[in-house]
């Protein structure tokens, strides 16, 4: 039973993999202060988050309590590889179904409030409507989790202000439009959350001043009335070693490769590529002559445990050929991305530039070949290539479904892995990793911000 002097945290992630994982990582950080954390989601999404969890041992943290609530069934269509907009519209029915968490979440918060001095709800921006009833619990308060970076949010507000002249105009003027980054349904869903944000007590960002302190300061200048904390990266910056029998096969393959010689290729959990694009990637990777690990899997469906999953075709004999030549490896299922990026043999990451992937890559000192698909990804790519200079462009953002030819992919891989320019980018990536590690260590900027947040939520008044 919780002590009556206790502060208890309730974590409410959005129902998509990148969001589920970030708040699970944050649960670890907060529980390390001897604060109990209650992680809440649907039965399906708790199973999803648990099965894909990586980087630390969830079972070793007995202060993290997982609550899974069954909700009515929902039907999600299969991902469309030929859709013009790459936003994962197939997940929208699952997102809409999150409304069914409202009642059981309120019951949990009410129950915890009876024995805790304060109940602190940390919820994804996109779950504001689900947590709205906390206002009727006298000792409860809420904090918004923003799942992307300060650069994106500052640029978003800069757009709303009509793109005025700014000190960073040379960078900001190069920003791609957000048109085509989201579906109309997702925009409407986000707008529905707005009305429930006014009672929030502050915002948490999974970013670090070591990465983008300048833009965090600019963002704060636009929102001086809000408490904000940059406490990332949430993911561990050092990965614990698993016993050999628990390691994924691709890690054992990496053990036999030279340092910084392998490009890791993955486009996240929400990207669905056309057959033609997959063929072009296959040819480009092989013709580059560079070593690679390619996670080739379809985008998530609303329930990732349904068996009917599209298996993309590769050129005839391709997998056997690259394995026999010891050039590459195809991973068809879930891959341990943090562990792959942390491996000494990994020298680059061809990525969709989801913020999770960007942070994990920066945390491990791995440069990025950027290929944004939707949402915040196009502007994340600008942050990586133009601001931080930690990568190269595979494809500039366009709202259509344009084919990237195999020769272009081949040249991008060669540039990142096997050129002087790639070596210089890698040096910058390694230097930033050092700064990030310092930022999350005792006395570092991210750790101090986390300490500040903990002091705030455990205050006596």
CA 280/CA 262 separation, integer angstroms: 19
Given the structure tokens 């030819």, which residue do they identify? 405
Distance of CA 277 to the CA centre of its chain: 24
The candidate with the shortest Cα–Cα distance to 142, out of 124, 122, 112, is 122
DSSP secondary structure string for all residues of 162-221: T----TTHHHHTTPPP-TTSS-HHHHHHHHHHHTT-TT---EEES--HHHHHHHHHHHHH
CA 68/CA 44 separation, integer angstroms: 8
Q: Which residues of 315-333 are buried (b: 16+ CB within 10 A; e: fewer)?
A: eeebbeebeeeebbbbbee
Q: Catalytic residue among 19, 38, 196, 352, which?
A: 19
The three-state secondary structure class of 427 is helix
Q: Catalytic residue among 124, 298, 300, 376, which?
A: 124
Cβ(341)–Cβ(264) below 8 Å: yes
Residue 312, phi-psi category: left (phi > 0), alpha (psi -120 to 50), beta (remainder): beta
Half-sphere exposure of 396 (CA within 13 A, CB side): 5
Distance of CA 12 to the CA centre of its chain: 16
* Known catalytic residue at 408: no
Count of beta carbons in the 10 Å neighbourhood of residue 100: 16
Cβ(26)–Cβ(207) below 8 Å: no
Neighbouring-strand partners of residue 369: 350, 392
* Known catalytic residue at 124: yes
CA 81/CA 299 separation, integer angstroms: 9
Dihedral angle, C-alpha 377, 378, 379, 381, nearest 10 °:
80
CA 140/CA 118 separation, integer angstroms: 6
* Edge-to-edge strands, sheet with 37-42: 64-69, 37-42, 7-12, 118-124, 140-146, 203-205, 228-230
The dihedral through the CA atoms of 301, 306, 308, 313 has a sign that is positive
- Whole-Å CA distances, 246 to 50, 243, 336, 384: 16, 5, 11, 33
Given the structure tokens 């990582």, which residue do they identify? 25
CA 422/CA 82 separation, integer angstroms: 32
Which amino acids are annotated catalytic?
Answer: 19, 124
């Amino acid at each position: 039973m919780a002590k009556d002097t206790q502060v208890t945290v309730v974590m409410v992630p959005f129902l998509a993999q990148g969001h589920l994982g970030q708040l699970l990582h944050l649960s670890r950080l907060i529980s390390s202060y001897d604060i109990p954390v209650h992680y809440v989601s649907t039965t399906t999404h708790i199973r999803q988050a648990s099965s894909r969890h990586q980087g630390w041992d969830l079972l070793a943290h007995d202060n993290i309590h997982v609550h899974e609530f069954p909700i009515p069934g929902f039907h999600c269509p299969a991902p469309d590889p030929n859709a013009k907009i790459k936003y994962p519209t197939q997940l929208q029915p699952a997102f809409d179904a999150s409304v069914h968490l409202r009642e059981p979440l309120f019951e949990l918060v009410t129950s915890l409030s009876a024995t805790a001095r304060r109940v602190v709800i940390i919820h994804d921006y996109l779950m504001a409507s689900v947590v709205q009833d906390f206002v009727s619990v006298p000792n409860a308060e809420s904090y918004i989790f923003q799942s992307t970076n300060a650069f994106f949010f500052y640029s978003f507000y800069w757009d709303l202000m009509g793109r005025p002249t700014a000190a960073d105009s040379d960078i900001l003027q190069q920003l791609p439009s957000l048109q085509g980054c989201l579906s109309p349904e997702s925009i409407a869903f986000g707008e529905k959350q707005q009305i429930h944000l006014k009672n929030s007590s502050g915002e948490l960002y999974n970013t670090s001043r070591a990465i983008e302190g300048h833009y965090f300061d600019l963002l704060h200048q636009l929102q001086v009335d809000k408490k904000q904390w940059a406490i990332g990266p949430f993911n561990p910056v050092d990965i614990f070693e698993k016993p050999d029998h628990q390691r994924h096969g691709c890690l054992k393959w990496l053990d036999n490769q030279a340092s910084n010689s392998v490009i890791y290729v993955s486009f996240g959990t929400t990207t669905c590529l056309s057959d033609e694009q997959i063929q072009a990637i296959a040819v480009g990777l092989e013709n580059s002559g560079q070593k690679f690990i390619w996670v080739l899997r379809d985008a998530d469906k609303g329930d990732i445990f349904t068996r009917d999953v599209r298996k993309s075709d590769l050129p005839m004999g391709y997998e056997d050929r690259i394995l026999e030549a010891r050039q590459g490896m195809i991973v068809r299922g879930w891959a341990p991305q943090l562990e792959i990026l942390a491996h000494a043999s990994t020298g680059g990451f061809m990525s969709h530039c989801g913020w999770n992937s960007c942070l994990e890559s920066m945390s491990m000192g791995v440069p990025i070949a950027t290929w944004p698909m939707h949402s915040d990804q196009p502007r994340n790519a600008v942050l990586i290539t133009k601001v931080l200079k930690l990568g190269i462009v595979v494809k500039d953002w366009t709202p259509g479904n344009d084919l990237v030819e195999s020769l272009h992919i081949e040249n991008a891989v060669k540039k990142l892995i096997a050129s002087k320019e790639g070596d210089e980018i890698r040096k910058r990536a390694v230097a930033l990793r050092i700064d990030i590690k310092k930022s999350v260590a005792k006395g570092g900027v991210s750790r101090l911000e986390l300490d500040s947040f903990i002091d705030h939520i455990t205050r006596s008044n």
